[in-house]
Amino acid sequence: MTSLVKIATLAFAISIGFSVSAFAQTPQCPADIAGDGDGFFEKSRSYAVPTPDERHEVEDFISHYAWLMDNKNAVGVRELFEPGATYLLCQTGSSDEKDSGKDEKLEDLLRMSFTGLGDKRARRLFSNILIRKNTANQTYEALISSVVFTQGPSTSSEPPKVDYMASLYATIVRDSFDNTLKFGALVVLTDQNGISIRAR
């Protein structure tokens, strides 16, 4: 199944289009984001607040992604994506695509990123997780704030340092084969210039 995402910047909003709907477009990097996230969900679609169980399942899935990234597990991260799903790494202030990946290419991109870390560790803190369920196609849209820290190896006394902050825009779908959640698309928009280590 091909999964694409549409991202367009509005005055105080970003809207994302799902691949499983008829609205799918070629993915793009937004140049910036502002506002409180209310416009993240397109008004033209039908949204519902997820049930507590649904929210727990989505948050657990997002946490699983964070742990796999923190532990440099490129294979595990790729398995969280639907076949053909899109991953984009973008930077605030630029609409140029920085990195993108699908299938095996995503795994290669992640391996390069993890190699760049050397023996340093990365730790992610996710907060302000905004989730809505698209009742038209039973998918989820999530907007997540993230801070990524880097730290020396476990034997080092080096304190953690902020590497970058980012907003994550996720299209989350249910796999038709095993009923688990998968990324249909993930866009990581970093809001800091001069990132020294792309810990993702």
The tens digit of pLDDT for each residue in 135-183 reads: 888 899 999 999 999 888 777 777 888 888 888 989 999 998 889 999 9
The tens digit of pLDDT for each residue in 41-59 reads: 555 568 888 999 999 999 9
pTM for the model = 0.75
The upper half-sphere exposure of residue 20, i.e. CA atoms within 13 Å in the direction of its Cβ, equals 20
Contact between residue 2 and residue 84 where contact means Cβ atoms under 8 Å apart:
yes
